[in-house]
Amino acid sequence: MSDPEARCNEIFELSYKHLPGHLRACFLYLGVFLEERDIPVSKLIRFWLAEGFIPNTESRRLEDIAEAYLVDLINRSLVIVSKRRSNGQVKSCRLHDLILVFCRSKAKSENFLQLLMKSDEPYSSFPSSDYGFEFDFHDHLAPVTYKAYRLSIFLKRNHFVESRPSGPGTRSLIFFASTDAEPRCPYDISFICHNFKFLRVLDFESINIGVSFPVEIGLLVRLRYLAVSGYLQYIPKSIANLRKLETLIVKGLRGKVVLPKTIWHMTSLRHLHVNIHVAFKLDDEELGGWYQLENLVSFSRPSLSCGEDSEQVMKRFPYLRKLKCIFFESRKSSSNCNQFPRLSSLTHLESLNIFYYGRPINTTEFILPSNLRKLTLSNFHLPWNRISAIGKLPKLEVLKLLSGAFEGPIWDMGDEEFQELKFLKLDSLNVAQWNASCDHLPKLERLVLQNCKELEKIPHDFAEISMLEMIEVHWCGQSAENSAKGIGDSTGEIKVLISSSYVRS
């Protein structure tokens, strides 16, 4: 090892020794993730929760404590911020290459984590001195037994599945697939439920498990984090045996996933995420009473029809903080079948992302929780005079209007609206004339305009917004670009970023 590397390791070692006990495990867990890729903070935090690294206190929410831990690691220069969200929170992070090497070395020496990497030469064996076993693909895929408490595996899917490994003491199994010839080929993972009985974390998001969700999954009663992928159509009732499960992620490859009625028994759930449409039914008689998922704080993507059924579903998530859903017009004939969903029961909701599919919404009032801080709307095709109800939300800081959320050539902003808004994004809207002043958006920090081809200009008075730091104009008309440049030039303090869709002469 060269002197500079040795000095770096000494510095890292000193920084590690000065870490409080509660941060050491959180830091070492960063070694789980792939090199040279951003680490999604939401996923990292859910891993930390499942591992029990975050203390449960009545005064603070678990996710907030975890975010504070991450910020502490960032402030100590051990973690780098890769991307930030529109509200300023960290969206993704990563480790410097040298710190990652140190992190993994320390995790190995403290028996915290075992990494299983793809070898440089195909079908060659892994050194027993490093991993405690011989893994030889020359003649056959022999069963492998792992002794590690936590496993992070970087292998081809077929090599891992066909070897049918086991881990009697393994608590965390996280799989990252290396390049496969057939990445979407389905695999039978039912052996996992028998060979890794004490798992708390199972991340198979990069393995296609096919159409059938293994019924045996109900045997893994200690699971707190479960992520799977496949052409899934339904989740078996046995999922309800996982009474300790906090995070359920289903990466569907097509169609819609139907959740079983027994999902309402899983009262420990905090995060429920499906990347395709998810549907579920209510049947209180079969369940034996009224059930609520009181610990659920984030949910995507339920398919909600208008009417009382959706309202009844939402009432079952009384402490939901983040919701991303698809709202569609019910096929059943009803006088209120295409009204904006009533979400007033979600009094703790802070972030709402909602896409509408159906006929134009009736001109009835918005029923939105007053606690909202972030709102994203798509495809509602509402007239601009309806936006005042959103503007009056007292805590709204982030607003994204996408894909025809509102339509019409003129947007006249009203007084005493959007007084707390810090981030505004308009994408694929047909607005041409935007009548507004600095008084309408006094706290705006960032403005993003994208694919608004007809917009004539950005109100020049926005140059007087003292907190405005950046204006982005992507693929809009030249007049909108020129107005953004004019605002930037007039102040010299507002950064202007432009992506043009036309060829300059």
**Does 397 map to a domain?**
yes
Q: How many distinct structural domains can be found in the chain?
A: 2
Report pLDDT for 122. Answer: 35
Q: Which of 11-15, 46-50, 143-147 has the lowest mean pLDDT?
A: 143-147
User: Which residues does 213 contact at the CB level (< 8 Å), separation at least 6?
Assistant: 228, 230, 232, 234, 235, 236, 239
Number of other residues whose CB lies within 10 A of the CB of residue 156: 17
Domain-embedded: residue 77: yes
Q: Last residue of some domain: 54, 82, 103?
A: 103
* Angle at which helices 62-75 and 21-28 cross, to 10°: 80
Q: What six digits make up the tokens of 418?
A: 């959007």
Q: Give the domain-ending residue among 51, 82, 103.
A: 103
Q: Is residue 303 in some structural domain?
A: no
* pLDDT tens digit sequence for 381-390: 999 999 998 9
Higher pLDDT, 33 or 4: 33
In CATH, what number is assigned to the domain containing residue 17? Answer: 1.10.10.10
Q: Does residue 277 lie within any of the structural domains?
A: no
What's the average model confidence in pLDDT over 144-165? 89
Which stretch of 114-128, 309-323, 356-370, 391-405 has the lowest confidence by average pLDDT?
Answer: 114-128
Q: What are the φ and ψ backbone dihedral angles of 31, each rounded to 5 degrees? A: -70, -10
Give the tokens for residue 293.
């998922």
Is pLDDT of 285 > 60?
A: no
In a domain, 266, yes or no: no
Whether 268 contacts 295, CB under 8 Å:
yes
Tell me the two tokens of residue 99: 């710190």
* Domain-terminating residue out of 57, 84, 103: 103
Q: Which domain holds residue 99?
A: 3-103
Quote the CA–CA distance of 400 and 98 in Å, as a whole number: 38
The answer to whether position 26 is within a domain reads yes
- The pTM of the whole model exceeds 0.85: yes
Instruction: Specify the CATH number for the domain of residue 498.
Output: 3.80.10
Instruction: Check whether the bond before 301 is cis (ω within 30° of 0).
Output: yes
Q: Is residue 91 situated within a structural domain?
A: yes
- Residue with more model confidence, 399 or 131: 399
Flag whether 150 is in a domain. Answer: no
Q: pLDDT, tens digit, for every residue of 156-201? A: 888 888 889 999 999 999 999 876 545 568 888 999 999 999 999 9
